[in-house]
Structure 1
Amino acid sequence: MVYIGWRGDHGKDLSRRYRIFDRVHLIPAGKYRRYHGQSLINKITDFRTMALNIRDFFRVLAGTIVSYRLLGQIKPSVVFSKGSFVAVPVGITARLKKIPIITHDSDSVPGLANRIIGRWATLHAVGQAKGAYSYDKDKTHYVGVPVDERIKPVSVSLQRDYKRRLGIPIRAQLLLIVGGGLGAQSINRKVAAIMPRLLTYYPNLYVIHFSGSGHEEAVKESYRLDAADNKRLNVIGFSNEFHIYSGAADLIISRAGATAVAEFAIAGKALLLVPASHLAGGHQIANAKEIVKNDAAAMLGDEASANEYYRTVSELLDDQTKRQALASNLGRLAKPRVSQQLARLILDTAKSGG
């Protein structure tokens, strides 16, 4: 199994982290930058973005030349694309060399890379229901989204065990805020604004806020709490054991990225989703709407005020029956055997030659 990544990322570390890769290769590649909701005038006058896109067009050409030589050496039986921009030069090369292509889309709106190379794909594996995609339905397989193998359904006893491991009283309510990643500053800011009221009104509430490594200090400074309330709040940049924190939570505030939501679905968690409105294609908004349509999560828009955050969070903390219903409905959307299904599709395609 060979991994092909972008020259400039940390692809070489993958061979050390995951021994499944026999080799790791890095190639030049470029992305096409565009922003959801940006007007035509803004696109035309955004000269910096235009210049970067022109530069990256030539990087795609360079990556295609390198890929052509590389795939000639590797002679793969199948190419699997998760949809990052580095998949474009590899996918173009696979098409030229008549190598079968399988795409996988986690979000309900396919990424640009998979939309480009998907026209040549033998199969499309998708993370959401088939109806969300414009792919040929006969070639499309609804498998779900691969997640950390440590993620599993969280029973009441397991949730209590997770709380004990985190030093949180088992009878306390735990609010988990996932504010890491680019564009999460609005969540961080609004949650910080309502926190004094929440902790005062709910004396049995504990809060853990994942800020992202680059924002930890700024988020800590944004909370203005007295010493007693501060003991019930913990700001964390990053943890390799995130599944323990999410498993312990009674309510989670999160963006609507497909992988995170898939993990919460398997665990069976109550969610308040705040989809990122700035991302290209509006895929998080589409993800969240699909989940809310199934009554499997609550949702706030990116433009929601701090008061709207407080009102929605309070309603969910006060209503255990509502939280349990959301968690149960989200759990029904879970696809726990994604990796096995994907592996079978890849192996069958490799054996049949597409």
Structure 2
Amino acid sequence: MKKIILTGGGTAGHVTPNIALIPELKRRGYKIYYIGSKEGIERKLINEIPDVEYFGISSGKLRRYFDVKNFTDTGRVLKGYSEAKKIIKEINPAVIFSKGGFVTVPVCLAAKKYKVPCVLHESDISPGLANKICIPSATAICANFPETIQHLPESKAHLTGSPIRKELFEGDKSKGLEFCGFTDDKPVLLVIGGSLGSVSVNNAIRNSLDKLLEKYQIIHLCGKEKLDTELEGTKGYRQFEYIQKELCDLLKAADIVVSRAGANAICELLALHKPNVLIPLPLKSSRGDQILNAESFEKQGFSKVVREEELTSASLLAAIEEVFTNKDQYIKTMEDSNQLDAVTKIADIIDSVY
């Protein structure tokens, strides 16, 4: 049986595309293993999938700027490299697929050491630091955006789009409404701040809650340890730290979405044709990838963007109202976008490299 190691972690966005690939890889006869961090969100998500063995390794964040943590994190990366070499040697995979995140760096470097073909996926317009380090070790590199190709070695680059989990297309609106205790006579606003949550997005929504509840029922995915207990029981408002199993139903129930602009999240909104307002991470908190992602989607007519520096109750309410008023046009533009079948295309590339 062919063996493949998947790797990626740190946030749900580095895990869910791997999860989307798993059914197709199983169908093609692969035995699947997963390397992630020891305590990251990927461990929980992958351990819920049958017949996928999980290995945790040490990992550390690599920074472009000086920080005393660079010294300790470098040690963790080196330890992770040693652990990844041992795992790869034991499994002897035909190929490795890496979705990104700092846990993937020791895995990709160990793959190069043992001459195992490695396929990377870059979600954002410009490659992140982890993928930049891994690119020389890669046999092929998959990308979401046409703009990304110019940043990659031409001989390795493939425009594939982002793998979307099949179950996201199988949501049931009535189940989503029932799960939240909502009715079907009032539109639903879904707020997604990412698996780690966003204080600024959460605050903007909660500061506008009274006004929003006049028109919408609100599902608020606010992130780990970011629930507001004072809002529990508010009619028409449900908050959750993170949702996995019921997410497809909640997306189906949503008429409009407010979201960060992580590449995988917005590609899912595009595939599901969900009108949306994007609030990208600002430069002070990121390398600017979400700003580029959001600008690309706004230019293509898929999204309305509110920069965090301009985020107020008034600007948020105006953006939501503009998108909801013109939701049919947003939906048509997304329907006409001709999304690629990324799962099949990436699986074909994986098949081709060994």
Q: Determine if the TM-score, normalized by the shorter chain, exceeds 0.5.
A: yes
Question: Are residues 1:314 and 2:331 paired?
Answer: no
Aligned residue number for residue 56 of structure 2 = 26
Report the CA distance shift for 1:164/1:324 in structure 2 as closer, same or farther (over 3 A).
farther
Change (3 A) 1:179 1:265: same
Match of 2:352 among 339, 348, 351: 348
Q: Do the aligned partners of residues 138 and 214 (structure 1) sit closer, same or farther apart at CA in structure 2, a change above 3 Å counting? A: same
Equivalent in the alignment of 1:7: 38
**SS at structure 1 position matched to 2:158:** strand
Superimposed CA distance per residue, residues 59-111 of structure 1 (whole angstroms, 9 cap, x where no aligned partner): 22222233333323322222211112122122222222222211011222322
1:101 match: 118
Partner of 2:221: 210
Does structure 2 conserve the Cα–Cα contact (< 8 Å) formed by 1:183 and 1:276?
no
How far apart in 2 are the matches of 1:10 and 1:234? 23
Deviations 1:317-346 (A, max 9, x none): 3x2xx2121223234446463222222211
- Mapping 1:82-97, distance limit 5 Å: 82-97=99-114
**Given the superposition, is the C-alpha separation of residues 100 and 211 from structure 1 closer, same or farther in structure 2, using an over 3 Å criterion?**
same
Give the 5 Å matches for 1:152-191.
Answer: 152=169, 159=173, 163=177, 167-182=181-196, 184-191=198-205
> What is the number of residues matched between the two proteins?
320
- Hey, what's the Cα distance between the residues in 2 that align with 1:191 and 1:15? 31
Paired with 2:102 and 2:278, the residues of 1 have a C-alpha distance of: 26
Distance in 2, Cα, partners of 1:281 & 1:332 = 31
Q: Post-superposition shift, 1:190? A: 1.6
Tell me whether 294-303 or 61-70 shows the greater mean CA deviation: 61-70
Give the distance between the partners of 1:314 and 1:85, measured in 2 at CA.
38
Structure 1 residue aligned with 2:248: 243
Measured in 2, the distance between the counterparts of 1:147 and 1:55 equals 36
Aligned mates of 2:204, 2:40 — CA distance in 1: 32
Give me the whole-angstrom Cα distance separating, in 1, the residues matched to 2:303 and 2:181: 27
- 1:298 maps to which of 280, 293, 304: 304
Instruction: Note if contact 2:47-2:54 (Cα within 8 Å) is conserved in structure 1.
Output: no
Aligned twin of 1:271: 276
Change in Cα spacing, 1:236 to 1:61, as seen in structure 2 (3 Å) is closer
CA displacement, residues 112-133 of structure 1 (integer Å, 9 cap, x when unaligned): 1111111231111112225455
- Tell me the SS of whatever aligns to 2:134: helix
- 2-side partners of 1:342 and 1:297: how far apart? 26
Which amino acid letter does the alignment assign opposite residue 188 of structure 1? N
Structure-1-length-normalised TM-score: 0.80
- Distance change in 2, residues 1:53/1:274 (3 Å): same
Q: Which has the larger radius of gyration?
A: 1
Give, in whole Å, the separation in 2 of the partners of 1:236 and 1:298.
24
The answer for the alignment partner of 1:141 in structure 2 is 158
- The Cα of 1:288 is off from its aligned counterpart by 0.5
Tell me how large the CA RMSD over aligned residues is: 2.7
The alpha carbon displacement at 1:55 in A equals 0.9
Structure 2 distance, partners of 1:162, 1:66, is: 42
Matched with 1:224 is: none
Report the residue type matching 1:337 in the other structure.
Answer: D
Deviating more after overlay: 163-172 vs 55-64:
163-172
Residues 192, 125 of structure 1: CA spacing in aligned structure 2 closer, same or farther, 3 A cutoff? same
Q: For the Cα contact (< 8 Å) 1:6–1:29, is it kept in 2? A: yes
C-alpha separation between the residues in 2 aligned to 1:14 and 1:236? 17
SS of 1:33's equivalent? coil
Q: Which moved more, 1:59-68 or 1:249-258?
A: 59-68
Where does the alignment leave 5 or more consecutive residues of structure 1 unmatched? 35-42, 45-49, 222-226
Residue identity matched to 1:151: L
More displaced stretch, 79-88 vs 308-317: 308-317
Q: Which amino acid aligns with 2:298?
A: V
Q: Which stretch shows the higher mean deviation, 238-247 or 67-76?
A: 67-76
Q: Contact (CA 8 Å) 2:195, 2:242: kept in 1 or not?
A: no
Residue in structure 1 matched with residue 16 of structure 2 by the alignment: none
Asked whether the equivalents of residues 164 and 170 of structure 1 are also in contact (C-alpha less than 8 Å), the reply is no
Which amino acid in 1 is paired with 2:253?
A
Q: Which residue of 1 aligns with 2:143?
A: 126
**Aligned partners of 2:218 and 2:238 also within 8 Å:** yes
